[in-house]
Structure 1
């Protein structure tokens, strides 16, 4: 059955709730139970001690229930916490001392993981690129010509070529290590804009496991002249990822649908939404000749968002 999840938007300057929306979410195709979505803006929020089952200090907008994520070991990428179902909203607002470090939600950890996973894709692209293969064959040929003089040199040749191969793999590993650095550098400050406002984080959960995340930035139009501000704005998707084993099941599509709906609820049905030029996975470590796979993924993501917009607009016309 579909679950109902409470969405609260908070005025981050005053800490007061100014809008509450209840969303009914669709079940994820191919799963026995539905994937619940949650959206929240980070604010100074403290839940009663009974609702926090993990050791993390991360505040949650959703009240607690019996189900919690298992406690995880602290990570340099993010601090994990529990995410629970909403049955009776009883959030408590309070001030957090300025000296307290910024907590990071599990959605940010999931985004950081997606950046780190780019290292594997980059390594494969570099190893199997025609240019790399040609250079490797040339090195093997020159090494063989220099070492192999008679059948007695076969052992030395095999050992040498194994060393050459290992050296090449280590070089690839070094070239792609920058993705791990990018993942470790991702923190809560990345979610804040220049005015200190923080992005909307949309998550998808299957059972007790967080399986998808989308970071949405809402950009309001500038001043319309005089004292009145122009109405409307647009949504910019800055991160969009799903755990590897859940990809292909429609989770990513439903995350984009929630992002579109949230943007239009804020700025009207004509509000635009698109991917940020510098999204979380946009940084390319390798030279452009090795980035064909990443560019293809970006085009597919843009096509998925366009398909979601066409689908939602078609439903409205009917």
Structure 2
């Protein structure tokens, strides 16, 4: 939903800024790229959307690292390590360089541990980036899935995967992935993709849509203590979809 499964509610639009002194010649030579959202059928567009989704999973490693490093427990642990180093090594001012290098070594060891803890997101991104992940949902029954893309000019900046899953006599529209390039988040692109997913469900007479419990960005690899940022992003994403559904 993001990376982030992040919530991209409309804040700005991808349009040209208003000017009081327009230059028709300049506007003609530098046309504003068109923003469009639709179902991808071209193999190259499907591939680009798939890569964007896998990249959003890999980017979760950075979020996970920040969640650890800036957590009060981790900060407290680092301060405790420095205190212990200082107590053991300090006798006079000549020991300060040794304390500094030892403390720096402890920090590097801690960052190495963080890197190991968060490395699983790279492995998960590699899995999401496989054809088996993209096409494997077809084995679960129901109707076909659709890959929606948003293009700004010729560049794909957003992607969403919605799948029809059979539950009893009804088919539910399930969102397996939803992401927007970081540069364009907060500009309404994500909301546009969700609205298009709602239209797909209406046309196919699917119930929903709703987020898959195991969507591309749902995996949590850290101890629950550090999952606060992921849980907040999940709530925002689901809240964004619920708000759109209510408006309809």
**TM-score bracket relative to the smaller structure:** 0.7 to 0.9
Q: 2:118 pairs with 176, 187, 208, which one? A: 176
How far has the Cα of 1:153 moved from its partner? 0.8
Is 1:266 the counterpart of 2:204? The answer is yes
Cα distance in 2, alignment partners of residues 240 and 285 from structure 1: 19
Distance 1:282 1:195, change over 3 A: closer
Q: Give the secondary-structure state (helix, strand or coil) at the position aligned to 1:248.
A: coil
Is 1:214 the counterpart of 2:166? The answer is no
Q: Give the secondary-structure state (helix, strand or coil) at the position aligned to 1:182.
A: helix
For structure 2, list consecutive stretches of 5 or more residues without a partner in the other structure: 1-11, 17-32
Encode CA deviations 1:99-146: one digit per residue, 9 max, x unaligned.
Answer: xxxxx6111100100000000000000001011111111111001111
Q: Give the secondary-structure state (helix, strand or coil) at the position aligned to 2:213.
A: coil
Distance 1:292 1:184, change over 3 A: same
| Residue matched to 1:167 | 109
Is 1:241 the counterpart of 2:187? The answer is no
Encode CA deviations 1:282-302: one digit per residue, 9 max, x unaligned.
Answer: 111110110001000110001
Distance 1:150 1:40, change over 3 A: same
Is 1:288 the counterpart of 2:232? The answer is no
Cα distance in 2, alignment partners of residues 127 and 198 from structure 1: 42
| Residue matched to 1:189 | 132
**TM-score normalised by the chain length of structure 1:** 0.65
Q: Is the 8 A contact 2:140 2:165 kept in 1?
A: no
Q: 1:107 pairs with 45, 49, 52, which one? A: 49
How far has the Cα of 1:31 moved from its partner? 2.6
Encode CA deviations 1:88-107: one digit per residue, 9 max, x unaligned.
Answer: xxxxxxxxxxxxxxxx6111
Q: Is the 8 A contact 2:67 2:227 kept in 1?
A: yes
How far has the Cα of 1:149 moved from its partner? 0.8
Distance 1:29 1:148, change over 3 A: same
Determine which structure has greater relative contact order: mean sequence separation of CA pairs < 8 Å that are 6+ residues apart, divided by chain length: 2
Distance 1:198 1:188, change over 3 A: farther
**TM-score normalised by the chain length of structure 2:** 0.82
Cα distance in 1, alignment partners of residues 34 and 188 from structure 2: 11
How far has the Cα of 1:169 moved from its partner? 1.1
| Residue matched to 2:20 | none
* CA RMSD of superposed structures (Å): 1.8
Cα distance in 2, alignment partners of residues 299 and 272 from structure 1: 17
Which structure has the larger Rg? 1
Cα distance in 1, alignment partners of residues 188 and 115 from structure 2: 33
Distance 1:34 1:123, change over 3 A: same
Encode CA deviations 1:225-269: one digit per residue, 9 max, x unaligned.
Answer: xxxxx4x5220011000000000000000000000000110016x
| Residue matched to 2:36 | 36
Cα distance in 2, alignment partners of residues 137 and 205 from structure 1: 47
Encode CA deviations 1:66-105: one digit per residue, 9 max, x unaligned.
Answer: xxxxxxxxxxxxxxx3x4xxxxxxxxxxxxxxxxxxxx61
Distance 1:127 1:221, change over 3 A: closer
Q: Is the 8 A contact 2:127 2:133 kept in 1?
A: no
Is 1:157 the counterpart of 2:141? The answer is no
Higher helix share: 2
Cα distance in 2, alignment partners of residues 298 and 291 from structure 1: 11
How far has the Cα of 1:221 moved from its partner? 4.8
| Residue matched to 1:117 | 59
